[in-house]
Amino acid sequence: MSKNYNSSSLIYFITTLLITTRLISTVGNNTKPWINILLPPTLLNLEISTKLRTNPAAIKTASHDYGNIVKQNPDAVLLPTSISDISSLIKFCYENNNNMSSNSLTKVAAKGCGHSVRGQAMTLDGGVVVDMMWLRRQRIGKREGVVVLRNDDGYFADVGGEMMWIDVLRGTLEHGVVPVSWTDYLHLTVGGTLSNGGISGQTFRFGPQISNVYELDVVTGKGEFVTCSRRNNSELFHAVLGGLGQFGIITRARISLEPAPKRVKWVRMLYTNFSDFTRDQEHLISFNGRKQKNALDYLEGSLIMNQGSPNNWRSSFFPESDLTKISSLLKKNDILYCLEVAKNYDDSTMSSIDDELNELLKGLSYIPGFKFGKDVSHFDFLDRVRSGELKLQSQGLWEVPHPWLNLFVPKSRINDFKSGVFKGILLKRNITTGPVLVYPMNRNK
């Protein structure tokens, strides 16, 4: 069937190259913490001094991240039990920046789950790392980290920057509501993803996570505690969101919520032609109104290369009975392009969901006979990557170097990118051991 889709030129493709090695590193056992007497006496006089750690185990844990490529030892690690602890540390470092014989200690970095890949969650040449996960442990038992509220405009959640998105999902589901924009992997902190952007398959419709924030509490580089929003302290608000932690530490975010769906229709379709694949993606994301009924809730894409089973650690999606025919198709084409979509539903839309989804997918150019579907709970869909992580951890393959790369590629150059990178580098050099994601998004979101 011929198609003439009108797609906006204001489309960018995000390409994620997740090339994984098999080198294994380990983290040492915890030992009893102590305070280094070489720290500045003026710092040791502060109340937070008892929450600073300089023992080898604490330093080692703070010296690496998920990328496992960069190693940087801080001078100390702060284990905060309150926001005021963080404020006190930063205020001290700011006020004493010119007074210390060595200014390395004046460098501060907040580390949540440490999911950066090139040392962004560390300090360079000393400094202090703030362990945000320690603060999470203090607050999660008190159920303080995720608070769901309601006003005339609807539901929202006040969420601690140290909380993980899986905490947000569980906490909001108790009230029958959830955020609409997520990351693929939920075991990351709220402050961490909002400091980067928070991009996933929902972005084309609902925008990145930073587009779904009403208000922030921030500890600035002077140690000041500031509440900011689009209307109040707007310059700080927009600087901190996606600011890579360079303008302050996010300690609270007010996030928009909508009614939670119960289940998800989850579909993958295979292509051998890259142009067909990207054209269909662009067509599907043209239906992107937040309240639009005939729109998908999620769209991503990926490459399947000749690396063994078509299923990978991120998702064992394809039925075992179909793996042979998928592998046979892959051997004939070197690369298959997988278009992945999802549409949420609940009791009120259960009877119409299949018709709605079929209407959306009608006329696409995927290979006949290579459309696969699942029906899963909304929770399981959002937390779909976790099982793969646990599997790799059990095999000792999680704590390895991850030279991962995210790129925004203009729509006009995505075919050049396919020729130059997917075929000219990955296939030519036989780099096929990690997932490669490629999907479009709308710039106006």
- Reduced to 3 DSSP states, what percent helix, strand and coil does the chain have, rounded to the nearest 5? 30, 25, 45
Can you name the residues that pair with 229 across neighbouring β-strands? Answer: 215
Maximum CA extent, the chain: 76
Q: Which two tokens stand for residue 262?
A: 């119960």
Q: Are 269 and 370 in contact (CB under 8 A)?
A: yes
Respond yes or no: is residue 184 known to be catalytic: yes
- Specify the DSSP element, H or E, that contains 76: strand 76-78
Coil, strand or helix at 27 = coil
Question: Is the backbone of residue 5 left (phi > 0), alpha (psi -120 to 50) or beta?
Answer: beta
For CA atoms 101, 104, 105, 107, the dihedral sign is: positive
Respond yes or no: is residue 115 known to be catalytic: yes
Closest-CA residue to 343 (of 360, 366, 362, 363): 360
Respond yes or no: is residue 300 known to be catalytic: yes
How many Cα atoms occupy the beta-carbon half-sphere of 255 within 13 Å? 38
- Specify the DSSP element, H or E, that contains 88: helix 83-95
Catalytic residue, candidates 65, 75, 184, 297: 184
Catalytic residue, candidates 64, 75, 85, 115: 115
Catalytic residue, candidates 65, 280, 297, 300: 300
Coil, strand or helix at 197 = coil
Tallying the residues shown for the chain, one arrives at 445
Give the burial string for 92-124 (b: 16+ CB within 10 Å, else e).
Answer: bbeeeeeeeeeeebbbbbbbbbbbbbebbbbbe
Residues serving a catalytic function are 115, 184, 300
